[in-house]
Amino acid sequence: MNRTMNIKNTRKAAFTLVEIMIVVAIIGLLAAIAIPNFVKARQTAQRNACINNLRQIDGAKEQWALETKKSQNDSINQTEVDAYIKGGTPSCPAGGSYTYNAVGANPICSKFADGHSI
């Protein structure tokens, strides 16, 4: 009589230390690639929003100048110009502040004074 013995395998399925280290290394590599791109995309979005705000300010300033019969290089009244901007005074998404300047001159942002324009 030949009896077959059932051998029980008590080993539990689990990940080895090497497998876990490989997964962590891959996640770290992906994060190292992705994070700078996210930062750059955020800065680009802030810059574009700021430029759009400068366009709105310039348009409101020109409309105000036309209706109050101001000419080039006349100083402006910022609170009166803000009435021409839907939603009031825009705020810079990067935390800067806007300088409206005189009629005919472009408004500027203190945060992005490095050359972006409307």
| pLDDT, tens digit, 9 for 90 and up, residues 3-57 | 555 666 666 778 899 999 999 999 999 999 999 999 999 999 999 999 999 999 9
Residue-level pLDDT at 39 = 92
Report the C-alpha gap between 66 and 73 in whole angstroms. Answer: 13
Structure pTM? 0.70
Dihedrals φ, ψ of 109, to 5°?
Answer: -115, 135
Is residue 109 within a helix (H) or strand (E), and if so which, with residue range?
Answer: strand 108-109
The mean per-residue pLDDT over the stretch 79-85 comes to: 92
- Between 74 and 116, residue with greater pLDDT: 74
